[in-house]
Structure 1
Amino acid sequence: MTRGNPLPIILKFTLPLLIGNIFQQFYNMVDTIIVGRFVGPDALAAVGSTGTIMFLVIGFSQGMSTGFTVLTSQRFGAGDENGTKRSVANGILLSLFVIVFMTFISLAFMRTLLKIMNTPQNIMEDAYTYISIICIGIFTNVFYNLFSSYLRSVGNSRIPLIFLVLSACLNIVLDLVFVINFKMGVAGAAWATNVSQGVSALLCIIYITKKVPVLTPEKHHWKLHGYDTKIQLSVGVPMALQFGITASGTMIMQSAVNLFGSVAVASNTAANKFQSMVIQGMMAMGQTMATYSGQNYGKGDIGRIKQGVRLALTTEVIYAVVCSVIVVLGLPFALRLFFSGNVDLADILPWAKTYSYLCASFYIPLGTIFIFRNTMQGCGYGLLPMLGGVVELVARLVTATLAIRFVSFPLACACDPAAWLSAALFTGISYVYVIKKVEKKLIS
């Protein structure tokens, strides 16, 4: 990614990530669709009510492990093969510590967390069952994201996509078997997710071992190196905290939504899943810019980084407008996927419209966050992107508090737009500061 016209390179790298992200969304989306249609609206609400907790637990673990791969991208861009292998081994060892810690903490405090979030009593047990099983499988999610990020760090976004598509298809099959044939309910959906992600992680490991020698550590690399650990933690910890802080804000929002009952929760869940699918291109572009900026930072080409950011922003704005149109026009059709024919959509649609239409108005600032945040992280600056997460948290906290105080569902739905607008302003200013600092560092 250090040579040639940046735009075609960025788009070519982003497309497989976009498709991969969409298929990764299938993991939880298929769970909600099959559970909603074959178990019932309450079961769908139970799965949906845990979405923000899953984002916290999985996102924190994923952010940490993905942050470990930034050093790999920089060393690969600099042509340091031995350093690349060493960073891979070091990242794997650090990820093992993350997995053990996150699995223990999440299982120990899950029921308490669900109660704090005002989870409706009629869906409490199903919610606890689903999220607990997902937490048992944290290791599958972390290892898939770690090894797929390693492949992307050397410019290969196609192979992780292929493996993800295969495992997403497997997830659909297992969901149908466990939920419909074995009558396992929400537990079946959770186990289907864990098994499928485990398969995708295993396929990545086999491919790297057989086909990508630069990412295959040798025997002497398998120990914790002080310098590598320091660098990887300096990027990984802020990325993890950024996920954690953002997730904490969405949990506060979910707590406000939960006050309006299981119908509101189910409606919001379906609308949110549809939205998450549509905006995956924004996230994919952000992931691309992390690799793009990391490799060009390693090469010392600040001008190319700035050029790539400008092109990515233009692309992101166009994509955001298209997303808004899709969400507004497609929402009534999307909702039919989540509910069986005996559910009256007239009860569901007003709740879903309130959330979706508010969010669709703020997709442009949301898109810029991914560009600025990931570019800064790719250059090795993790603190300011993390503080952007703090800004999101404060915005959601204030808005959710007002929603709870005035018992207002529109205010509860406005938590996301408020967070996006605030964080967009903060990360945009932060990017200007960081890019000047990087330019001064590379020139000197």
Structure 2
Amino acid sequence: MRHKETSQENIIATLVKFCVPLILSGILQQLYNWADAFIVGNVAGEEALAAIGATGTVSGLFLLAINGFTLGLAVLFAQRYGSGRLAEIRNTLSSFCVILGAAFLMLAGIGILCAYPLLRLLNTTPDTIGMAEDYLKIILAGVPVMAVYNVYTAALRGAGNSRAPFFSILCSSVVNVVLDVILVVFGRMGVRGAAIATVVSQAAMTGYIVWYSRRYDFLRIYPFRRPVDRAAVKAGIHLGFPPMVQSCVNAFGNLILQNFMNGFGTQTVAAITTAYRVDTIIFLPMINIGSGISTIVAQNYGAGKHREIPRVVAAGAVMMTAVSLALISRILFSYWFAASCGNMIIAYAEAASWGVMLLLYVGRVTRKRHVLAWQKR
């Protein structure tokens, strides 16, 4: 689009069109995590739900590292797409599918071998540690698949396509729910069934995204033809390493918090597991809008449209402000939503009530922070 034809309204429309599938993808991904919690909590019981919650920060460390690194890769892909350097996109995609896939295959293997000692270190309760170990080992087996998936979605988003990742997650969600019902409800496999359903659904969405990406010539990779390009690796590490470190720092903080929470017993872990699943979904729009803004800015930077960048940032700030205002009132939403979801996922009144109390407290604190921030402005 030529600069003279670009208006602020067009930029906002572009951002909305690009960010809405990102937001829906994030929400849908959380909702199929809810399916695990809902089915396991009501079929396998409170201890099984707590076992899943006890593993969340460990598997989250791997996934946050992948997401952080591929966030930087998405910027690199967007820059190269904007500048028309499509052959370099193929080299980058091939290089990091190999490197991240191999790296997280090794790390996942270490995690599987050390699952029980790690859960002991996190003070996991004796009545849940066996189930937590089973669940964690299976979930970690799917981490290399998620690494490849995230590299492909970063490439697609960098090329301006945010719809394909949404449809891949939609496919994954359907597979996950169906397998949850088959393995947990009818097969009575408990947490192992939920873990298998999750890993198979992740493999399904990775297969879909790889198949879809072959529509683009520059996303067709040939693993046996120079799979790793040194220049691409250097550029990718330059942009991917800082957000990965940031994500890992947050993940380590969550590990410390998990260790603290586990000391309060099974009911507390089950309650917090439920509350965090509800709370996380509320902040997803902010995270995904930020990702969309960075991608479009990178495309303009790569295309040499530097004058467009402040306009994109300004339009993004308008969107962020609107979403922030909506989040101020989330406490009103939480009274109904928290109670409904807490009792839906946990079939045990005491644990559900604790989860609702946590959500309402977080909602009050968030509201106060937003009000103070606006007063300072």
Do both share a fold (TM > 0.5)?
A: yes
Task: Pick from 26, 35, 38 the counterpart of residue 33 of structure 1.
Answer: 38
Task: Pick from 315, 321, 325 the counterpart of residue 314 of structure 1.
Answer: 321
**Partner of 1:63 in structure 2?**
68
**Partner of 1:256 in structure 2?**
260
Distance of 2:367 and 2:78 partners within structure 1: 28
Instruction: Give the aligned CA root-mean-square deviation in angstroms.
Output: 2.5
Distance of 1:113 and 1:235 partners within structure 2: 31
Superposition deviation, residue 349 in structure 1: 4.5
Superposition deviation, residue 24 in structure 1: 1.0
**Partner of 1:393 in structure 2?**
none
Superposition deviation, residue 265 in structure 1: 0.9
Tell me if the contact between 2:77 and 2:154 (Cα under 8 Å) persists in the aligned partners. no
**Partner of 1:333 in structure 2?**
340
Superposition deviation, residue 218 in structure 1: 6.1
What per-residue deviation string (whole Å, max 9, x for no partner) do you get for residues 84-141 of structure 1?
Answer: 2222222222222322232123223222221121111111101111011000111222
Q: Per the alignment, in what secondary structure is the counterpart of residue 114 of structure 2?
A: helix
Asked if 1:78 corresponds to 2:83, the answer is yes
Asked if 1:230 corresponds to 2:234, the answer is yes
Amino acid at match of 1:267: A
Distance of 2:368 and 2:118 partners within structure 1: 31
**Partner of 1:352 in structure 2?**
355
**Partner of 1:156 in structure 2?**
161
Amino acid at match of 2:78: S
Instruction: Mark the CA change 1:264 to 1:219 in structure 2 (over 3 Å): closer, same or farther.
Output: closer
Q: Per the alignment, in what secondary structure is the counterpart of residue 121 of structure 1?
A: coil
Task: Pick from 279, 288, 292 the counterpart of residue 292 of structure 2.
Answer: 288
Unaligned stretches of 5+ residues in structure 2: none
Distance of 1:140 and 1:32 partners within structure 2: 22
Amino acid at match of 2:284: Q
Superposition deviation, residue 174 in structure 1: 0.1
Distance of 2:144 and 2:223 partners within structure 1: 23
Superposition deviation, residue 351 in structure 1: 2.2
Task: Pick from 195, 200, 204 the counterpart of residue 195 of structure 1.
Answer: 200
Q: Which stretch of the first structure deviates more once superposed, 86-95 or 161-170?
A: 86-95
**Partner of 1:127 in structure 2?**
132
Distance of 2:146 and 2:91 partners within structure 1: 22
How many residues are aligned here? 364
Unaligned stretches of 5+ residues in structure 1: 368-420, 425-444
Distance of 1:322 and 1:139 partners within structure 2: 39
Task: Pick from 297, 306, 312 the counterpart of residue 301 of structure 2.
Answer: 297
What per-residue deviation string (whole Å, max 9, x for no partner) do you get for residues 36-65 of structure 1?
Answer: 100100111111111111211222133334
Distance of 1:264 and 1:217 partners within structure 2: 47
TM-score of the pair, normalised by structure 2: 0.89
Distance of 1:297 and 1:203 partners within structure 2: 30
Instruction: Mark the CA change 1:182 to 1:218 in structure 2 (over 3 Å): closer, same or farther.
Output: closer
RCO comparison, higher one (Cα < 8 Å, 6+): 2
What per-residue deviation string (whole Å, max 9, x for no partner) do you get for residues 282-309 of structure 1?
Answer: 2221221231222122234242343244
Asked if 1:88 corresponds to 2:126, the answer is no
Tell me if the contact between 2:138 and 2:196 (Cα under 8 Å) persists in the aligned partners. yes
Instruction: Mark the CA change 1:297 to 1:316 in structure 2 (over 3 Å): closer, same or farther.
Output: farther
Q: Per the alignment, in what secondary structure is the counterpart of residue 26 of structure 1?
A: helix
Distance of 1:69 and 1:222 partners within structure 2: 22
Amino acid at match of 1:339: I
Distance of 2:369 and 2:101 partners within structure 1: 32
Asked if 1:244 corresponds to 2:251, the answer is no
